Amino acid sequence: MLRPLVVAAPFLLWAFVGYVHAVTIYGPAGALRPSGTASSSGSGPISTGTLVNTQWIAALNAYNDVKLQAPALPNPMPSTSFAIGVANNAAGMGGLSIPQKGNFFGFSIEMSVVEQVLGLNASFIQIPFLNLLATVADRGGSVRIRIGGNTQETASLVDSLPNNAMIGKDKSVIGGSSRTAQTPTLEYTDELLYLLSNVSSLVNAKWYLGIPFNDTTHLRLQIAEAADSILGDNVLGYQVGNEPDLYASHERRPVDYSPQDYSDEFGVMVNGIHDDKKITRTGNLIAPSLQGTWSPEDLWSTGYLDAYGSSINVLAMEHYPDQNCAAEFPDGGFGPIKNPQDVFPNYLTHTSGQNLVKPYLNTAGIAQQLGKEFMMFETNTASCGGFPGVSDSFASALWAVDYGLQLAYSNFTGALLHVGGQNVSYNPFTPPPTNLSLFEKWTVGPIMYSTLFVAEALGTTNTSRVVDLAANGGNEFTPAYAIYEHDTLSRIALVNFMQEQNGAGSYSATISVGGAAFGESNSVPSQVKVKYLLAPSVSEKEQITWANQTFGGRFQVDGRLSGQEVIQTINCDQSANTCVVPVPGPGAALVFVSNDAQASSDPKASQTYSTTTVTNAIQTLTIEPSVLAHSNGHSGNFPLSGTSKGGANAALRLHSIDHSVVLIFVLLASFLTFVH
């Protein structure tokens, strides 16, 4: 997908310059960046003074400074030196998942924040967003993004909006009397769909959209009509109904609204969609997207799947392990505000993911029988904005690695991490607030790194079958998974939820492959490659590295990884059939058992690209392409100098970038929405 772009880049570059105020610019095989930032190295701080000193920004949950205490080491301590035995052939292992794809983890983006996250229109795309998507797509083959959420239910596609805007927030608020029940209504133009289409032309991104379900007597199917024609294959499907089991409590339906009522209404939608000849794609609905108030079985027992299964492509659920609603709605009847420190340990254990999947194992089996995908369509650490200090800590990154692999093992086929607004602490990525949207001032959340880990763990062959190894006697602090591709062991993922204290808390796993226990020959290779996900502590918010690379700290992110990629080589003892892999506490390790396994999920140099958007109020911009966007390919094949952020080595000069460009962002005041 990206290759033609790179070839065409010089032409595009100049075309764009003439087109608008150098709004979106792609560089010839390299980063284009404003001068003045070019010399800042990946680790060097970019001045954020004006941002962090602004009180109203500091008060937003996306930038909270809560730093929690690491939980004490478990008592009793698990063994910190244990053996893991796996078969080399899938046939020798029990309980493998169905084949999974590297795009397992994707993103769910609240419709009301599209302008801030994706861009203002089809010609003004947020380059950090493209770069972030590319980091996932380069590793997992593609990236799936849902645009929707509560706001999809009352959103309307209109022909045009004042000031040529793409999205307008209607002042009227639909919903009941309580604040928790209200949602601002959105209007948008088809420019939004062209924007998605343009993103897909630059990164291998696929989309899920939502058809409004607020009113089944007056269907509004325009989004599907338009998206089918504008997005074609890049739209994967349409969600119909978002958390219908919360409609009653959100005062959108009568208090006695039942699974049968919802099922009947869904039928009305199915018929409407069927009868609409402008909707050219069929059988691609996503439903029922229950939040958990109803169990899936409550709905299946109405005959829902028999009646409508043929219209549905993805069975979906939306669930968070906890909620922080009392903080957001102190008078909302949610009881006392939870203390993040108290819930912190709940995220530092394998049991979190296990408990999350448990209510859905039956449905995962049903989905398989029906040949449907089964997705956790919206999820994150905690609804109602997450827990400051938890949702944005390294603990959340380890939690999401384990949760993602647990979902894959449990035969979900994907999970979308939710991106809310500026006032939530769980975002994988957050654009800068309002008018401060300067180039490379984004912030990534720790769970963004989990998406890279899981994408690489599953790779690009579409054959990855995952098994929870119940390692170390099934200990909850030291989980491990094996991944088989083409029915052969390819990778092992090891997680350490413990925080090392007084020299205790790290562990070593002694991995054996094949051998008599599996009726196979001894199969450890002579060496394995290992990539680590690391941070100084479980409460760390910024200094997080994946294979020694980082997106950067708060307000420092342009979407590319920087720093020297480090892939460890660990020599194995083939006569003993063992490889000893240390896992620091806290941390996670991805062990590539074969070179093929690594090549399959390694970001390809040929697919990398880098970009910038020119939104700085700089009269004359120097834009410098660096050699590679992010990461540097294969082990042992060290990149050219200058691959890290800021390691630019060439310069193109663009003149006369107008001051007005910076005003573009002076309208994005309300990134604060009623979301999870």
Ligand X SMILES: *[C@@H]1O[C@H](CO)[C@@H](O)[C@H](O)[C@H]1NC(C)=O
Which of 92, 182, 194, 527 lies at the binding interface for ligand X (CB under 6 A)?
Answer: 194
Output the residue with the shortest Cβ distance to ligand X: 563
Rounded CA-CA distance 468/95 in Å is 8
Residue in the block written with tokens 């209109």 = 158
Residue 408 is inside which H or E element, if any?
Answer: helix 394-409
Between 80 and 180, CB nearer to ligand X: 180
- Determine if 380 is a binding residue for ligand X (CB under 6 A): no
Rounded distance, CA 442 to CA 542, Å?
A: 12
Minimum CB separation from ligand X for residue 575, in Å? 30
Q: Which of positions 497-556 make contact with ligand X (CB under 6 A)?
A: 548
Segment interacting with ligand X (CB under 6 A) among 308-316, 486-494, 573-581, 664-672 = 664-672
Instruction: Provide the minimum distance between the beta carbon of 72 and ligand X in the complex, in angstroms, as a whole number.
Output: 27
Q: Which two tokens stand for residue 502?
A: 């007084």
Query: Does residue 284 touch ligand X according to CB under 6 A?
Result: no
DSSP string across 497-539: -PPPBTTBS-EEEEEEEBSGGGTS-B---SEEEEEEEE-SSTT
Interaction of residue 201 with ligand X, rule CB under 6 A: yes
**Minimum distance from CB of 461 to ligand X (Å)?**
5
Contact between 156 and ligand X per CB under 6 A = yes
* Residue labelled with tokens 């120097």: 622
Site string for ligand X, 412-451 (x = CB under 6 A): -----------x----------xx----------------
Name the residue nearer to ligand X (CB basis): 593 or 614: 614
d(CA 301, CA 428): 36
Ramachandran angles phi, psi of 177, nearest 5°: -80, -30
Q: Is 326 in the site for ligand X (CB under 6 A)?
A: no
Going from the C-alpha of 321 to that of each of 147, 206, 399, 451, the distances in angstroms are: 22, 27, 11, 18
Peptide bond into 76 cis (omega under 30): yes
Burial class of residue 28, CB neighbours in 10 A (0-12, 13-18, 19+): middle
Interface with ligand X, residue 43, by CB under 6 A: yes
The site string for ligand X over 220-239 (x = CB under 6 A, - otherwise) reads --------------------
Cα dist. 350→49, 83, 290, 345 in Å?
Answer: 39, 18, 24, 11
Contact region with ligand X (CB under 6 A), list: 69-77, 116-124, 274-282, 314-322? 116-124
Q: Which of 8, 77, 361, 640 binds ligand X (CB under 6 A)?
A: 361
Two tokens, residue 271: 């018929």
**Contact between 214 and ligand X (CB under 6 A)?**
yes
- The answer to the question of residue 323 lying near ligand X (CB under 6 A) is no
- For residue 185, state whether it binds ligand X (rule: CB under 6 A): yes
Q: State in angstroms the smallest separation of the CB of 174 from ligand X.
A: 5
Q: Does residue 666 bind ligand X (CB under 6 A)?
A: yes
Among the listed residues 383, 406, 387, the one whose alpha carbon sits nearest the alpha carbon of residue 396: 387
Going by the DSSP 8-state scheme, the letter that residue 394 receives in this structure is H
Question: Could you give the string, one character per residue 134-153, with x where binding to ligand X holds by CB under 6 A and - elsewhere?
Answer: -------x------------
Can you tell me which of 45, 49, 95, 303 binds ligand X, judged by CB under 6 A?
Answer: 95
Q: Give DSSP secondary structure letters for 581-642.
A: EEE-SSEEEEEE-SHHHHHHHSPPGGG---EEE--S--SSEEE---S-SS---STT-PPPTT
- Binds ligand X (CB under 6 A): choice among 35, 48, 89, 123: 123
Rounded Cα–Cα distance for residues 101 and 137 (Å)? 11
Q: Tokens standing for 415?
A: 């999970």
Binding segment for ligand X (CB under 6 A), chosen from 288-296, 458-466, 491-499, 587-595, is 458-466
Least distance (Å) from ligand X to the CB of residue 74? 25
Nearer to ligand X among residue 124 and residue 481 (C-beta): 124
> What letter does residue 446 receive in the DSSP assignment?
T
Tokens encoding 136: 């996932």
656 binds ligand X (CB under 6 A): no
Q: Which stretch binds ligand X (CB under 6 A): 301-309, 439-447, 533-541, 563-571?
A: 563-571
At closest approach, how far in Å is the CB of 499 from ligand X? 22
Sequence-ordered strand ranges (E) for 229-343: 235-240, 285-290, 312-318
Reading phi first (left if > 0) and then psi (alpha if -120 to 50, else beta), residue 374 is in: beta
- The residue within the footprint of ligand X, chosen from 51, 70, 117, 120 (CB under 6 A), is 120
Can residue 124 be called a binding residue for ligand X (CB under 6 A)? yes
Residue 404 in the binding site for ligand X (CB under 6 A): no
Q: Which among 120-128, 513-521, 604-612, 634-642 is the span making contact with ligand X, rule CB under 6 A?
A: 120-128
By CB under 6 A, name the one of 39, 47, 50, 164 that touches ligand X: 164
Please pick, from the candidates 461, 537, 612, 613, the single residue that binds ligand X as defined by CB under 6 A: 461
Beta bridge partners of 164: none
174 makes contact with ligand X (CB under 6 A): yes
319 DSSP 8-state letter: -
Segment near ligand X (CB under 6 A); pick from 67-75, 118-126, 512-520, 591-599: 118-126
- In whole angstroms, the minimum distance from the beta carbon of 654 to ligand X comes to 16
Local structure of residue 392 (DSSP, 8 states): T
Stretch that binds ligand X, among 94-102, 505-513, 590-598, 651-659 (CB under 6 A): 94-102
Strand partners, 587: 496, 534
For residues 514-549, one letter each, b for 16 or more C-beta atoms within 10 angstroms of the residue's C-beta and e for the rest, the string is bbeebeeeebbeeebbbbbbbbebbbbbbebbbbeb
Q: How far is the CB of 75 from ligand X (least distance, A)?
A: 30
Q: How far is the CB of 511 from ligand X (least distance, A)?
A: 22
Nearer to ligand X, 62 or 498 (CB): 62
* Secondary structure (3-state) at 265: helix
**Residues near ligand X, by CB under 6 A:** 20, 42-43, 61, 95, 97-98, 101, 120-124, 141, 154, 156, 164, 174, 185, 194, 198, 201, 214-215, 327-328, 361, 368, 385, 409-411, 423, 434-435, 460-462, 548, 563-564, 566, 644, 664, 666, 672
